[in-house]
Amino acid sequence: MLVSGREDSIRIIGYSPEYAGDFARLNYQWIEHYFRIEEEDRAALDHPEAYAIAPGGEIFFVLQGDRVLGTVALVPKDLKADGSFLKFELAKMAVDPAFQGQGIGKGLLDHAIAYARRRGVGQIVLSTNDVLAPALKVYGNAGFVAKPAPQDERYERSNLFMQLDL
């Protein structure tokens, strides 16, 4: 998926404030299409640095030139005594509808998983909804498995919990 040395190359970068608006735009787009915007969405999308970066996480962007094609956040959860994290929550994964079905989500997810492994995190979790079949396929192909869990109180739409043990 990643091509180097060309102006139109596709690459993945870490968080940069100049792309915060794209993080919000892409995620608001899919959430409004399938569901309704909830308070937790606004907190995350309108304040991405406080949501993911400040607590020690990361937000990745897939770029082609300067155009953002996709994004995902890794939000730290469960702090260990040494200050590292037991797990990350994979959150707010979105791919521009014009580029869906081209492997961008898979590449973004693979990148996020590799990042978590490098950080020594033992698990990645996510809350989702079973109506999002293409996303569920990408998660399943990456090794995420559905697990019983209580309702994610942050989202009315959440009806499925998945985890990947690293």
CA–CA distance, 113 with 40 (Å, rounded to integer): 23
Q: How much of the chain, in percent, has pLDDT values that exceed 90?
A: 76
pLDDT tens-place string over residues 43-91: 999 999 999 999 999 999 999 998 999 999 999 987 766 766 789 999 9
**What pLDDT was estimated at residue 151?**
60
pLDDT tens-place string over residues 1-25: 444 444 568 999 999 999 999 999 9
Domain 10-165, what architecture? 3-Layer(aba) Sandwich (3.40)
Mean pLDDT, the chain, integer: 90
CA–CA distance, 74 with 87 (Å, rounded to integer): 9
